[in-house]
């Protein structure tokens, strides 16, 4: 506990860095997955390619990804961009399928009604399909986010800043307090972000909590 | 005016859904497409707003081929109502109704205020505005569906089996409401149903389709019942068509005979004094019928006692002397325990009685006058 209180500044700094390298990839991953998921949901050929490929990406070990990405990207090995790109890839691999599935459960008759009202495809996607897919989307986004917060710690092995540094350095210094602080903070951070996403999801889907009255 | 010109629709795999359809829907008319499943009625409807495109032939609206121009723009001018309403579950009732005005570029405030007017027009309470579709009954959802279709005041309204998923009592209410709306709004309505009774009740013209997408007959309902074009149409319009045809002859031509009435709360003796051929109708203060008093049930009762309701026969159906038709008059006569059908005015007060023979005589006169072709 003393270690924690004496290193508040360091902890705040590491937490901030950790949030950047774990949450930016969620945002980028979502932006990339939306069109891919939409395509996979509409086109059977796109689905046959995108779903297995994205699933395969998730099986690449994170450490291997962090080590090989600099060779592909031409970045320094300790550049946080490597982690951000790697976690973006994992996010995409989780979300493409989720988005394809979330969109496919939207009632076809509602979409037909939207088209018949005069919606053009792009506007219909943003105004009708996407909002109706939000409940499924949010639950998958929570999985991807928590996964990223956890995976981002692996970056510390190759020298990337973040909460993972607390356990890799604590391990070198044989400082148990530092290791425990790191572990606890990662878990707490994951729980808080998960809760925030859950609340945001509830706030933007008020219709899902309406009791059926006759 | 909507014109189908030699329209054929073939689906992938070669099945023919609509076969060389030629048909004109007049402006401001209520036209019903009816037929068994697989007859192409819905396919035909969906080609009007280009949810489907014909394989051959063309569809004109006011002389202009729907195929020229932008489908989204075309659809903004055509209201569309489907089974189960197809409301957007994530939008409130008000925002559902405001959809098309918003798409047409209205401001949010103007679209919502218009949506509020529509809510009232379709007979829903303003308190419904903030609810989500899942909080409404099926009938209410369907009203919202109609309001949404009418919001941008399109000249054409397409309705694809809109009432088939609601229970019969609610359905009848929705049908009456739709007829009332149409009398106010004068839209060009094309309505698809598999229910011939619904078609005959709603349609000014009815197009009967047979399996394979062939138009079997396109006529006014009375004509359809009186002169089905072939055995298929005759079979489809059903066995009771002679009886149903009476629904197109007004009851106002019937002579309304005298009827003995007695106000509720009268004594047995007072009631027995007014009986006519052993029967009298007991009415409430507003003249509305409660039931029939019959001599055989009153005989032997204490003359000074008040006539109690459990001594009465339940009444039969009623018919409106003005505005009703021969079908409801005949049913009133046949269902009445005394054999006299009770005629009421618009407020439901008793005006007189009619006998089944009177109805048949009126039918015979109508035939002689050429109002009915037999």
Pairing of strands B78-82, B279-283: unpaired
Give the pLDDT score at B374: 45
pLDDT mean over B289-296: 91
pLDDT-derived band of residue A166, with 50, 70 and 90 as boundaries? confident
CA distances from B297 to A152, B1, B270, B302, B309 (A): 92, 62, 14, 12, 12
* Rounded distance between C-alpha atoms, residue A42 and residue A40, angstroms: 6
**Each residue of B127-168: pLDDT tens digit?**
999 999 999 998 899 999 999 999 999 999 999 999 988 888
The answer to whether the CB of A148 falls within 8 A of the CB of A90 is: yes
Q: Which of A112, A117, A122, A138 to mutate to test the interface with B (most CBs of B within 10 A)?
A: A117
Give the pLDDT score at B40: 93
Q: What is the CATH number of the domain that holds A86?
A: 1.10.3720.10
The answer to whether the CB of B291 falls within 8 A of the CB of B312 is: yes
Q: What is the DSSP letter of B250?
A: B
Average pLDDT, chain A: 89
Which residues in chain B are contacts of A132 at CB distance < 8 A? 88-90
CA atoms within 13 A on the CB side of A153: 19
pLDDT-derived band of residue A192, with 50, 70 and 90 as boundaries? very high
Give the pLDDT score at B91: 95
Query: How far away is chain A from the Cα of B324, in angstroms, using its nearest Cα?
Result: 33
* Rounded distance between C-alpha atoms, residue B206 and residue B30, angstroms: 9
Under DSSP, is residue A63 helix (H, G, I), strand (E, B) or coil?
A: helix
Determine contact: B105 vs chain A, CB below 8 A: no
The answer to whether the CB of A161 falls within 8 A of the CB of A11 is: no
* Rounded distance between C-alpha atoms, residue B192 and residue B137, angstroms: 22
Of the candidates B88, B131, B158, the beta carbon closest to that of A110 is on: B88
Give the closest residue to A84 by CA, choosing from A94, A71, A98, A70: A70
Residues of chain A in Cβ contact (below 8 Å) with chain B: 109-110, 112-120, 123, 128, 131-132, 205-207, 210-214
Under DSSP, is residue B83 helix (H, G, I), strand (E, B) or coil?
A: coil
CA distances from B299 to B268, B273, B293, B302 (A): 9, 12, 11, 9
Of the candidates A117, A131, A212, the beta carbon closest to that of B75 is on: A117
Query: Which residues are within 8 A (CB) of A76 and not within 5 positions of it... i.e. 6 or more apart?
Result: A70
* Rounded distance between C-alpha atoms, residue B112 and residue B114, angstroms: 5
Query: How far away is chain A from the Cα of B209, in angstroms, using its nearest Cα?
Result: 24
Give the burial class of A27: count Cβ atoms within 10 A of its Cβ; 0-12 exposed, 13-18 middle, 19 or more buried. Answer: exposed
Q: Tokens in use for B121?
A: 């027009």
Which residues in chain A are contacts of B72 at CB distance < 8 A? 118-120
Of the candidates A117, A128, A205, the beta carbon closest to that of B80 is on: A117
Determine contact: B50 vs chain A, CB below 8 A: no
Torsion of CA A193, A199, A205, A208, to 10 degrees: 120
Q: Which of A102, A106, A111, A118 to mutate to test the interface with B (most CBs of B within 10 A)?
A: A118
Whether the predicted pLDDT of B372 surpasses 70: no
- CA-nearest residue to B137 within chain A is A214
Cβ of B134 and A210 within 8 Å? yes
ipTM score over 0.90, yes or no? no
Strands of the sheet containing B205-210, edge to edge, are: B78-82, B156-160, B188-193, B30-34, B205-210, B214-219
Of the candidates A120, A128, A212, the beta carbon closest to that of B88 is on: A128
Average pLDDT, chain B: 90
* Rounded distance between C-alpha atoms, residue A63 and residue A65, angstroms: 5
Give the pLDDT score at B249: 86
* Rounded distance between C-alpha atoms, residue B103 and residue B99, angstroms: 6
Whether the predicted pLDDT of B351 surpasses 50: yes
Q: Among A118-132, A161-175, B180-194, which is the least confidently predicted range?
A: A161-175
The answer to whether the CB of B219 falls within 8 A of the CB of B33 is: no
Give the pLDDT score at A211: 56
Domains in chain A, number? 1
Query: How far away is chain A from the Cα of B296, in angstroms, using its nearest Cα?
Result: 46
Residue B165 burial (CB count, 10 A): 16
Residue A47 has φ and ψ, to the nearest 5°, of -65, -45
Whether the predicted pLDDT of B208 surpasses 90: yes
Whether the predicted pLDDT of A65 surpasses 80: yes
Q: Which of B88, B97, B152, B162 to mutate to test the interface with A (most CBs of A within 10 A)?
A: B88
pLDDT mean over B168-176: 88
pLDDT-derived band of residue A1, with 50, 70 and 90 as boundaries? low
Residue B242 burial (CB count, 10 A): 11
Cβ of A119 and B72 within 8 Å? yes
Read off the pTM.
Answer: 0.77
Give the pLDDT score at B244: 79
CA distances from A183 to A20, A176, B130 (A): 18, 11, 46
**Each residue of B40-84: pLDDT tens digit?**
999 999 999 999 999 999 999 999 999 998 999 999 999 999 988
pLDDT mean over B27-36: 95
Which residues in chain B are contacts of A118 at CB distance < 8 A? 72-73, 75-76, 100, 103-104
The answer to whether the CB of A148 falls within 8 A of the CB of A189 is: no
- CA-nearest residue to A120 within chain B is B72
Q: Tokens in use for B285?
A: 């203060």
Of the candidates B72, B132, B135, the beta carbon closest to that of A118 is on: B72
* Rounded distance between C-alpha atoms, residue A67 and residue A56, angstroms: 18
Give the pLDDT score at B243: 80
Give the pLDDT score at B4: 96
Q: Tokens in use for B271?
A: 């009631």
Whether the predicted pLDDT of A214 surpasses 70: no
Length of chain A equals: 214
Domain that holds residue A61: 2-213
Higher pLDDT, A214 or B114: B114
How much of chain B exceeds pLDDT 70, in percent?
99
pLDDT mean over A31-38: 93
Give the closest residue to A20 by CA, choosing from A197, A148, A138, A185: A148
- CA-nearest residue to A122 within chain B is B72
Give the pLDDT score at A213: 44
The answer to whether the CB of B254 falls within 8 A of the CB of B359 is: yes
């Amino acid at each position: 506990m003393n270690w924690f209180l004496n290193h508040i500044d360091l902890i705040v700094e590491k937490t901030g860095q950790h949030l950047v390298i774990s949450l930016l990839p969620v945002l980028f991953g979502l932006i990339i997955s939306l069109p891919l998921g939409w395509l996979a949901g509409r086109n059977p050929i796109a689905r046959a390619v995108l779903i297995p490929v994205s699933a395969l990406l998730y099986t690449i070990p994170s450490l291997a990804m962090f080590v090989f990405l600099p060779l592909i990207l031409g970045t320094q090995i300790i550049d946080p961009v490597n982690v951000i790109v790697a976690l973006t890839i994992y996010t995409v691999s989780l979300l493409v399928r989720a988005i394809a599935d979330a969109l496919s459960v939207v009632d076809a008759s509602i979409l037909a009604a939207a088209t018949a009202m005069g919606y053009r495809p792009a506007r219909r996607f943003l105004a009708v399909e996407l909002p109706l897919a939000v409940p499924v989307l949010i639950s998958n986004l929570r999985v991807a986010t928590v996964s990223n917060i956890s995976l981002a710690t692996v970056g510390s092995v190759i020298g990337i800043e973040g909460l993972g540094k607390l356990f890799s350095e604590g391990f070198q210094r044989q400082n148990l307090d530092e290791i425990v602080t790191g572990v606890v903070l990662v878990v707490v951070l994951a729980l808080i972000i998960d809760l925030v996403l859950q609340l945001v999801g509830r706030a933007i889907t008020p219709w899902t909590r309406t009791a059926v009255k006759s | 005016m909507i014109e189908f010109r030699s329209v054929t629709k073939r689906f992938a795999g070669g099945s023919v859904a609509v076969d060389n359809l030629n048909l004109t829907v007049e402006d401001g008319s209520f036209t019903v497409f009816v037929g068994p499943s697989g007859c192409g009625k819905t396919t035909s409807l969906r080609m009007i707003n280009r949810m489907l495109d014909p394989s051959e032939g063309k569809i004109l609206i006011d002389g202009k081929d729907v195929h020229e121009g932008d489908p989204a723009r075309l659809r903004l001018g055509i209201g569309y109502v489907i089974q189960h309403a197809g409301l957007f579950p994530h939008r409130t009732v008000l925002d559902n109704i405001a959809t098309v005005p918003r798409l047409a570029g209205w401001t949010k405030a103007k679209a919502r205020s218009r949506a509020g007017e529509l809510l009232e027009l379709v007979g829903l309470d303003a308190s419904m505005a903030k609810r989500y579709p899942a909080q409404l009954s099926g009938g209410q959802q369907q009203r919202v569906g109609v309001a949404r279709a009418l919001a941008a005041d399109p000249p054409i309204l397409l309705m694809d089996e809109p009432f088939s998923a609601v229970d019969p009592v609610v359905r009848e209410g929705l049908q009456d409401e739709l007829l009332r709306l149409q009398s106010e709004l004068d839209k060009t309505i094309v309505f698809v149903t598999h229910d011939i009774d619904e078609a005959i009740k709603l349609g000014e013209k009815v197009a009967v389709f047979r399996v394979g997408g062939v138009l079997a007959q396109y006529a006014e309902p009375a004509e359809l019942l009186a002169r089905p074009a072939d055995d298929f149409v005759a079979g489809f319009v059903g066995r009771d068509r002679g009886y149903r045809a009476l629904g197109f002859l007004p009851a106002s031509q019937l002579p309304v005979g005298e009827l003995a009435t007695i106000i509720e709360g009268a004594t047995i003796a007072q009631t027995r004094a007014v009986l006519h051929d052993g029967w009298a109708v007991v009415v409430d203060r507003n003249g509305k019928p409660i039931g029939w008093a019959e001599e055989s049930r009153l005989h032997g009762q204490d003359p000074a006692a008040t006539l109690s309701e459990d001594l009465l026969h339940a009444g039969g159906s009623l018919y409106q002397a003005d505005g009703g038709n021969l079908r409801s008059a005949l049913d009133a006569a046949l269902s009445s325990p005394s054999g006299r059908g009770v005629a009421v005015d618009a407020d439901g007060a008793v005006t007189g009685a009619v006998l089944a023979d009177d109805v048949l005589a009126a039918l015979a006169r109508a035939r002689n006058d050429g109002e009915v072709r037999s």
